[in-house]
Amino acid sequence: MKDNYNLRIDGNKVLLVPYRRTFVENYHKWMSDPDLLVLTASEPLALKEEYEMQISWHIDPKKCTFILLQKSKFDESKLTGRKEIDCEISSMCGDVNLFFNNYENSSDAEIEVMIAEPDCRRQGIAFEAVSIMMRYGIQKLGAKRFFAKISSSNEASQKLFRRLGFEECNYVACFDEHEYHLMVDEDVKESILDSTKYIIEREYEVSD
């Protein structure tokens, strides 16, 4: 999606930056991990295919992706005088995505989050990243319902989305997958916007 390609969103624990070409190599390393492939229900890709995927996601109007940077690590790295892009690459910790693939209801958004770096888990990064992404989806992309498909083995992700107010709405036995959803009525919208009102949006200027 091109809408967020020049946008950085600053939270308290995480920075959301667009998925640029400079992040592909690190992303590919993550997605070579068998455990992450299982948790994200993904197929392994060659590095060349990963670069092609990054381009296709950039131009696809139904896919919105942000790379997650651990804010504390990014801030510490900047103090050393390193280049901004090097600070970003060294503080990468995961990604968060929205997919608008429901052709019958264009305001339905599937949401995914991955914290790929083990030392960045259980720190509230995923919670904040999803909250900020929902804010962006509501304000900028017109999302009125969020849903997440989660493997039965991924108990941490199920717990995360329940904490965010999602309720289980379906189970697909053949994939052993639970679906959780959150309807964005006025109360939910107000709650999400209020809980993330501290975020700062900046123009993202780092080149590929």
Summarize pLDDT for 140-174 with one digit per residue, the tens: 999 999 999 999 989 999 999 999 999 999 999 99
pLDDT, tens digit (0-9, with 9 covering 90-100), for 87-115: 999 999 999 999 999 989 999 999 999 99
Q: How confident is the model at residue 36 (pLDDT cuts 50, 70, 90)?
A: confident
Write out the E strands in the chain.
7-10, 14-18, 63-70, 92-99, 108-115, 145-151, 167-172, 177-183, 200-203
Pairing type for strands 167-172 and 177-183 reads antiparallel
Report, as an integer, the average pLDDT of 175-180. Answer: 94
Provide the pLDDT for residue 13: 98
Question: Sorting pLDDT into bands at 50, 70 and 90, what band is 43?
Answer: confident
pTM of the model as a whole: 0.95
Per-residue pLDDT of 119-140, as tens digits, reads 999 999 999 999 999 999 999 9
Largest distance between two CA atoms of the chain: 52
In this prediction, residue 42 carries a pLDDT of 84
Which has the higher per-residue pLDDT, 58 or 205? 58
Q: What is the pLDDT of residue 35?
A: 87
The pair of three-digit structure tokens given for residue 112, joined into one six-digit string:
């995914």
Question: Which pLDDT score is estimated for 41?
Answer: 78
Distance, in Å, from the CA atom of 132 to the CA atom of 128, rounded to the nearest integer, reads 6
